[in-house]
Structure 1
Amino acid sequence: MAKQFESLSEAHINFIKEQKIFFIGTAAESGRVNVSPKGMDTLRVLSPNKVIWLNLTGSGNETAAHINQVNRMTIMFCAFDGKPLILRLYGHAKIYHERDPEFNEWVPQFGETEGARQIFELEIDLVQTSCGFAVPLMDFVEERSILRDWAKNKGKDKIKDYWEEKNQKSIDGFETGIF
C-alpha cells in the first residue's frame, strides 16, 4: 500500500544514500515524456524537502529542456536488494549551469565532476513510498567508468563543443538553455 509524506524522514534519507541508481521523470506541456536513469553518486539530500543532483554530459538534454518549460519533476528510487521499496520524490525543479552561483556553490559536494553539465534542485512537495514487490533482486557489481573516462579524455573545451552540437535542443526541438 502506498504511503504519502510531506517530507523525507531520516529512514527515507538513509534509503536514498544506499541506492546506486535513481530515475528522473519530466515532461513538457507537449512532446515526449522523459525518464532517465542516473547513478555515479550524483545526488545529495540538502534537507527533508530539498535534493540536488549533478547532471553529467550525455547524448541528450531532455530534462533541462522540460524544466525550462514546466518545472515538474519526479525522482524515483527502487530497492534492488534487501527489503523491497519504491520511493518517489515529487516537486518543482530549478536548473543551474556553470554560469550560476548555485552551481559553483554545490558542485564541490560531488567530488570528481568531469563532464558536469547542470545541477538540478528539487523542492519536494510530496514523498511517496510503495511496496516494490515486483522489482527484481539484483547485485551491484561496480560503477561504470566509461562516462567519466570519456569526459576526462575529451577535456572541457571539447565537451562544450559536444554540448553545442548535441545538447542545445531536445528531441522535440525545445531549447535546453545550456548556453
Structure 2
Amino acid sequence: MKLHPEISAKHLAWIEKQQMFFVGTAPLDAEGHVNLSPKGGDSFRVLSPLQVAYLDYTGSGAETIAHLRENGRIVIMFCAFEGPPQIFRLHGKGTAHLHGSPEFEELSKHFPENPGARSIVVVDVERVADSCGYAVPFYDFKGHRNGLDKWAEKKGEDGVKAYQAENNERSIDGLPSIDHS
C-alpha cells in the first residue's frame, strides 16, 4: 500500500475510467451493521485534490446517509476490473446534501440530471491510498443499467418522495436517515 498527499492528476485520470466504485460506512455502535454499497453510472466527481462527491440515488435503504449524519466516517474504493491491477481508497468525512437543499442545487451542476437522485455526498478526503489489486478478477463492462431511472420516471417526483418517506427515514439499526417532516 502507498499513501498519497492528495488525489493527483494521474489518479483522477484513472478514476475517470472506472465504471463503478464502492462506498463503506458504519455506525458508532459496535452492534450496528457495516454498510457497503456499489455505485455506478456517471455519478462520481473529484472536486479538488482533497474533496470528492457522488450522486446518491434513491434505494431500498439509506444506511450511508444515516451513518454520515451520526459520525461522518466514509471510505470510497475503486478497483480495476480491466487493465493493470489497482485498488484506490479515499477515506474521509462525508456529508449528504439532500435533494432540494441549497447545497444539492449548487453541487448538482457537476452531474447529469437524474430523476432518482436522493442526495449528493461530499467527502473531505483525509487519506488517499492505493494498493496492488492482484487478486481482483477481470470483468468486461457491458453497460450501465437503467432500471432505477425508469422506476423513478414512472413514479414521478412525488412518488419518489413518498417512497423515500416510507423506506428511507431510518437505517436498519434505527438511526435517522432522511427527515421528511
Q: 1:64-79 alignment to 2 at 5 Å?
A: 64-79=65-80
C-alpha deviation, 1:83, in angstroms: 0.6
TM-score by length of 2: 0.96
Give the secondary structure class of the aligned counterpart of 2:121: strand
Match of 1:29 in 2: 28
**Are 2:24 and 2:34, in contact at CA under 8 Å, matched by a contact in 1?**
yes
TM-score by length of 1: 0.97
**Are 2:168 and 2:178, in contact at CA under 8 Å, matched by a contact in 1?**
no
The amino acid across from 1:140 in the alignment is F
**Are 1:163 and 1:178, in contact at CA under 8 Å, matched by a contact in 2?**
no
Q: Deviations over 1:79-101 (max 9, x none)?
A: 00001000000111111012421
Give the secondary structure class of the aligned counterpart of 2:42: coil
C-alpha distance in 2, partners of 1:112/1:104? 11
Match of 2:56 in 1: 55
Large movers: runs of 4+ above 2 Å: none
**Are 2:57 and 2:117, in contact at CA under 8 Å, matched by a contact in 1?**
yes
Q: Report how many aligned residue pairs link the two structures.
A: 178
For structure 1, list consecutive stretches of 5 or more residues without a partner in the other structure: none
Match of 1:19 in 2: 18
C-alpha distance in 1, partners of 2:103/2:94? 13
C-alpha distance in 2, partners of 1:150/1:98? 17
For structure 2, list consecutive stretches of 5 or more residues without a partner in the other structure: none
The amino acid across from 1:135 in the alignment is V
Q: Deviations over 1:22-68 (max 9, x none)?
A: 00000110110000000011111111100011100001100000001
